[in-house]
Chains A and B, each alone.
Chain A
C-alpha cells in the first residue's frame, strides 16, 4: 500500500479542488496527442487530428479528456485504495484497449505540466512532488492487471 503523508494528501486535495476537470482533462489529452503524436494510434475514430488546432478543437478529444480526468478524480478520492479503484480499468486497458502502459506515464507528466501552467507559482516544488507521486501510483495501478 502506498504511504501518503498528511502534507501530501493536503497538497493533492488542495490542487484538485481548484481544477476545472473538463478544461484540464481536455487540455491534457490534447497535449498528449500533440506532443507525442504516436499516441494518436489509439484514437483513429476521433476524426480530425491533423494539426494542433484541429486536436485542441476536436469535440471527441475534449469529451474523452474530461472522462479520463474525471476518472483520475477517483484516485484523488481514494488515495489509500488506488490499486483496487483501478483494477477493472487496468483490465480494460490491457484486454480491450491494448494500451502500452508507458502511455500512462506520458499522460501523467503532461498533466503535471498543465497544472504548472495553470497554477504557476502556487504549483510549488512540494506540490509537484506529491502530484508526480500520484500520477506514478495511478500509472502503476493501471498497469497492474496486464497479462
Chain B
C-alpha cells in the first residue's frame, strides 16, 4: 500500500523528469527489448531499431499513462481502468512473469541513470511499490 510519504516521493521524482518523460518512456522500452528479448514477441508489427519512430511514440504513450497514474495515486484502479481492460482482453501480456515487471525494472534503471544519487533508496522503494501497484491494476481483470 502506498503511504503518504511514498506518494510525496513519487510525485517529487516525477516532477524532476516530467519535462523529458517521453524520452524516458522510449528509453525504458528500448532497454526492455534489448535486455529481455522475449518482450519483443508482443511487438512483431513494430520496427524495433534504436530510435525508431514507433518506439518513440509508444514510449510517449507509456510515459503519459504513468504520468496520469502519478496524478491519481489515490485511485489507480479507476485511473487505469481503460488500460486494465486493454491489457486483459486485447493485449494479454503474460501476467505471471508479467512483462510489466520487466518494464518496471527497465523504467527504474532509466530513472537511476538520469537521477544518479537522487534516486535514493527511499525514492527507489516508493517507485518500486508504485510500479508494482500499476502492474497489479493492469492485471486485475485477466481472469
In the complex, identify which listed stretch (A9-17, A39-47, A71-79, A113-121) lies at the interface while the others stay far away. Answer: A113-121
**Least CB separation from B50: chain A residue:** A125
Tell me whether A125 and B31 are in contact (CB under 8 A).
Answer: yes
**A121-134 interface mask toward B, CB cutoff 8 Å, 1 = contact, 0 = none?**
10101101100100
Q: Does B1 contact A (CB under 8 A)?
A: no
Beyond A34-B121, A35-B124, A35-B125, 6 additional contacts (C-beta under 8 Å) are A31-B125, A34-B125, A113-B124, A114-B112, A116-B110, A117-B113
B contact set with A: CB distance below 8 Å: 30-31, 34-36, 105-106, 108-110, 112-117, 119, 121-122, 124-125, 128
**A49-74 interface mask toward B, CB cutoff 8 Å, 1 = contact, 0 = none?**
00010011000000000000000000
Residues from chain B with a CB closer than 8 A to the CB of A120 are 113-114, 116
Tell me the dominant secondary structure on chain A's binding face. Answer: helix
Partner of A132, one of B35, B108, B117, B128: B35
A contact set with B: CB distance below 8 Å: 27, 30-31, 34-35, 52, 55-56, 109, 112-114, 116-121, 123, 125-126, 128-129, 132
Residues from chain A with a CB closer than 8 A to the CB of B124 are 31, 34-35, 113
Tell me whether B105 and A30 are in contact (CB under 8 A).
Answer: no
Residues from chain B with a CB closer than 8 A to the CB of A52 are 121-122, 125
